[in-house]
Amino acid sequence: MAIPLLQIDAFTRQPYRGNPAAVCWLTQPLPDAQMQAIAAEMNLSETAFLLADGRAWQLRWFTPACEVDLCGHATLAAAHALQEWGQAQPGETLQFQTRSGLLQAQLGEQGIALDFPLQQPQPLSVSLDLAAAIGVPVLDCRTSDLGYWLLEVESAAQLQKVQPDLAAIAQWPCQAVVVTAADGCDFVSRFFAPRFGLAEDPVTGSAHCLLAPYWQAKLGSDRLQARQLSARGGELEVEVQGDRVILRGQAVTVLRGELQ
């Protein structure tokens, strides 16, 4: 069975920037082990698998090492892929059944808006030497139900100096670490997830479900511009709407093919 596949750069207007994801269009379910093997073969931060389910789509996300509960850039890539394959049109709202419940993606002329669950920042008190592990002083630290730890540093310049001890972070009782700072665009961030097999993720939609309410409280605005300061870089707009976060971004197809 040939499986159509697109490789898409998400949260960017330019090819070879943003966060790359592979999207596979399934016509029948695959065993979990086979999806994991495909993700390892693709060796991207995420490989997404789509399967039609009535008026919605089943959507699952795999890193090269494991399946994850929530992924923003691969969801944006999946919505973009359905347009590329002629399965959706501008103005349509797509529904995805996922491990994080029902997610929606609205297709607009200026990009795609993802409707994701807000991750409320929660107090975090730890005895670990956070500054030693990331290489710069930490101003504040929070956690969330996803198990991400949010560490605020003084500035974008400090954020760019971060050189994380990934071996140490992999031993922390968290799923991933997002380091952030205020900036002219509103806020910037970087994301490290050695437990997922990811040293540094280029642009992380799920992290912004935590970053959005954190910076909303600090900056006093429901709609914010964000950039992720990875080597590839990426940008998105976030908006807090009650217990949901809207992530707006664009995507570019860079490769078309099929799996055998």
Indicate which residues carry an active-site annotation.
46
DSSP 16: T
| CA distance linking residue 177 with residue 191, whole number of Å | 6
What is the amino acid identity at position 107? L
Burial of 16 (0-12, 13-18, 19+ CB in 10 A): exposed
Residue 215 identity: W
Calculate the CA 14 to chain-centre distance.
18
Nearest Cα to 175, choosing from 207, 202, 203, 152? Answer: 207
| Cβ neighbours of residue 51 closer than 8 Å, sequence gap 6 or more | 26, 27, 28, 29, 57, 58
> Which of 198, 200, 188 has its CA nearest to residue 231?
200
